[in-house]
Amino acid sequence: HGKDYDTDALSEFRPIIYSNILKGMKVLADARRKLRVEWGDPNNQVYGDMILNFQSVQAIDTHLFLSYAECVNHLWQDSGIQEVYRRRNEFQLGDSTKYFLDNLLRVGKPEYLPTKQDVLHSRKATKGIQEYEFDYKGIPFVMVDVGGQRSQRTKWFQCFDEVTSILFLVSSSAFDQVIMEDRKTNCLIESCMIFETIVNN
């Protein structure tokens, strides 16, 4: 990240983390239904319906998140949701979902301030093109982060003029997962196709 975070900077990650948690649980609840996994506790159906009806908003404030915290906690403790989590290779789920759900009691406090570890686990989709400049041993580098979603890929090729090297990163944890856009294509197969497109451009 190239910098340390003061309290204000850490606070800016709070709505992102809240969103990661609520969206992650919504994905798990939806996958439970699609995979036909039974609830461990049938009473959790009410919480499942509540999270499935959650509509993502621009910024999730503390008050809104706390209104869902009990619901999310009940669902995460449910053996059906745990079974679905074990089958996460069958659908697209953020890598940090378990980290945040395991830390829900801490994150769910009204005075919660994200830690640096929380910031590293937080996920916000890259929209458009982000540039980050830094020096390493006196050599200037410009890292260009392009959105990974299919809808963002048409913007990539304008970034390749005067490029001396490309660092192509692939998530090794996604070897048995499918992409979010079609829920069929294997993530590594998709990455190989993207790499081939880039090097042959």
* 159 closest CA partner among 173, 176, 145: 145
User: How far is 75 from 144, CA to CA, in rounded Å?
Assistant: 38
Instruction: Determine whether the annotation assigns residue 87 to a binding site.
Output: no
Q: Are 123 and 96 in contact (CB under 8 A)?
A: yes
d(C-alpha 73, C-alpha 88), whole Å: 19
E-state strands within 80-138: 129-136
**Residue 121 is assigned to a ligand binding site:** yes
Question: Is 63 annotated as ligand-binding?
Answer: no
155 is in an annotated binding site: no
32 is in an annotated binding site: no
Q: Is 125 annotated as a binding residue?
A: yes
DSSP codes joined into one string, 50-62: HHHT----SS--H
- Compute the distance between CA of residue 13 and CA of residue 69 in angstroms, rounded to an integer: 17
Phi and psi at 156, nearest 5°, equal: -65, -45
Does 130 belong to an annotated binding site? no
123 is in an annotated binding site: yes
Is 146 annotated in a binding site? The answer is yes
The answer on whether 172 is annotated among ligand-binding residues is no
Asked whether residue 96 is marked as a ligand-binding residue, the answer is: yes
CA 178-184-190 angle, 5° bins: 60
* 19 among annotated binding-site residues: no
Phi-psi region of 6 (alpha: psi -120 to 50; beta: other; left: phi over 0): beta
Annotated binding site for GTP: 95-96, 120-126, 145-149
Annotated binding site for Mg(2+): 126
Annotated binding site: 95-96, 120-126, 145-149
